[in-house]
Amino acid sequence: MNKKLLSGLIGVVVIGSLLLLGITSCKKKEPETIKIGAILPLTGPLAFFGKPEKDVLLMAQEEINSKSGVKGKRVELIIEDSKSSAKDGVSALQKVLLQKPVAVITSLTIISNATQPILKNQQIPQIALSVHPTIAKQSEFTIRPYYGFEDEMKVIVDYLKKKNYKKIGILWANVPECEIAINEVLVPALSEIGGDVVASENYSIGELNIKSQLTKIAAKKPEAILAMDFGNLMGIILKEAKNLGIREKIIGGIGLFYAPPIEPNLLEGIPFAGPSFIIKNYETFKEFEKKFVEKTGEKPSYDVLYTYDAFNLLVEGISRSDTNPKNIISSIISLKEFKGITGLMKIYSDGNVSVEISMGYYQNGKMKPLKY
């Protein structure tokens, strides 16, 4: 055989072998993963939600992967910043979608609403961390395993009924989720017990002066006043209410759980609706709190626990199906119940997931279950 031809053949064989080895080594370096997107408010005015959500998602990811992942595959979180705005949330989602996630977790109602049409169009499961009462009903690809304003309202109405309060005033943050909860849940429920909303005043997120709104409500002489706030104004609301002589009429909600420190004398005796796992101090909550503090140095909020449970519910849905989006959704719904840190989660066919909510009150600066 011609020496040049032989040398050429040997060269081809060597190059081919090297290429084959390269391909094989590349495959070994790229293990299969299950990618889950997360659009969180890491910056902007609502970043106090996003940072702990990121911390707990990374903690949950680590726990899952330490147990061989899901079906032998590692879970990989793709986290992007919504910057607390709908526009930036959509931009963040577009980045996440380039990496082909099997599902996307979205935090905040404004972000979940903005990203929902895109995820619905692409038929990708959305896990919405939102208090919006009807967001899950807007898309068959949305699951909402989160605190619900509709459940909060039902508990408060039951309290009003037991106290025989009929004339109700409402002070509420001007956002869609509050408006829907009032019009579609509270008003009909009050009507059933012979009650009525005698005053309804709202304010913009970020507004600091709500004296005029409370003055108008006080003029209608309601027997109780619901304060639907997201936390930042609760201290101001209670202080103004005290000045107007109506502090004892205030009934709080989930906003009290995120409120900055409030003077104990303003909180004393204030009834409110909130997650039972915090009000009743569930053992699972205490254990999780200890673990989260050790991991991050911070105490977990109610939002952190809901985020943790939402992630694990999604992982459970994936583990019981293939990664086909439709199958993930139907797999989650078919569970009907899921035991989380927040308690027994009831899963409904419309994509809503509820966890027990109850009434509490403040005594000496501490939350206690309210018996009535």
pTM over 0.85: yes
**Which CATH fold would you assign to the domain 33-148+283-356?**
Rossmann fold (3.40.50)
- Whether residue 107 contacts residue 37, with contact meaning beta carbons closer than 8 Å, is answered with no
Q: Inform me whether the pLDDT recorded for 372 exceeds 90.
A: no
Same topology for domains 33-148+283-356 and 150-280+358-369, yes or no?
yes
Distance, CA of 243 to CA of 134 (rounded, Å): 37
Split at pLDDT 50, 70, 90, the class of 2 is: low
Indicate the domain borders of the chain.
33-148+283-356, 150-280+358-369
Q: What is the mean pLDDT of residues 76-81?
A: 98
pLDDT digit string, tens, across residues 115-126: 999 999 999 999
Average pLDDT over residues 273-296: 95
Mean pLDDT score of the chain = 91
Per residue in 195-231, pLDDT (tens digit) is 999 999 999 987 889 999 999 999 999 999 999 998 8
Give the sheet arrangement for strand 366-369, strand by strand: 271-275, 357-363, 366-369
pLDDT confidence of 247, banded at 50, 70, 90?
A: very high
| Amino acid 32: pLDDT | 85
pLDDT at 7: 53
Question: Is pLDDT at 16 greater than 70 in this prediction?
Answer: no
Region 335-342: what's the mean pLDDT? 96
Helix axes 302-319, 325-335, angle to 10 degrees: 110
Could you tell me which of 159, 233, 235 has the C-alpha nearest to residue 202?
233
Q: pLDDT per residue over 128-159, tens digit each?
A: 999 999 999 999 999 999 999 999 999 999 99
Q: Which stretch of 56-70, 89-103, 247-261, 317-331 has the lowest confidence by average pLDDT?
A: 317-331
Among the listed residues 272, 256, 350, 355, the one whose alpha carbon sits nearest the alpha carbon of residue 306: 355
What pLDDT was estimated at residue 8? Answer: 52
The matching CATH number, chosen from 2.170.130.10, 3.90.650.10, 3.40.50.2300, 3.10.150.10, for 150-280+358-369 is: 3.40.50.2300
With tokens 């009525």, the residue in question is: 196
Percent of the chain at pLDDT exceeding 70:
92
- Which amino acid makes up residue 347? I
Among candidate residues 179, 240, 182, the one with its CA nearest the CA of residue 215: 240
- Report CA-CA distances (Å) from 63 to 68, 71, 143, 342: 9, 14, 23, 18
Question: pLDDT class for 337, splitting at 50, 70, 90?
Answer: very high
- Please say if the pLDDT value at position 315 is more than 70: yes
Element (H, E) at 235: helix 234-243
Pair 271, 251: CB distance under 8 Å: yes
Q: How far apart are CA 266 and CA 237, in angstroms?
A: 10
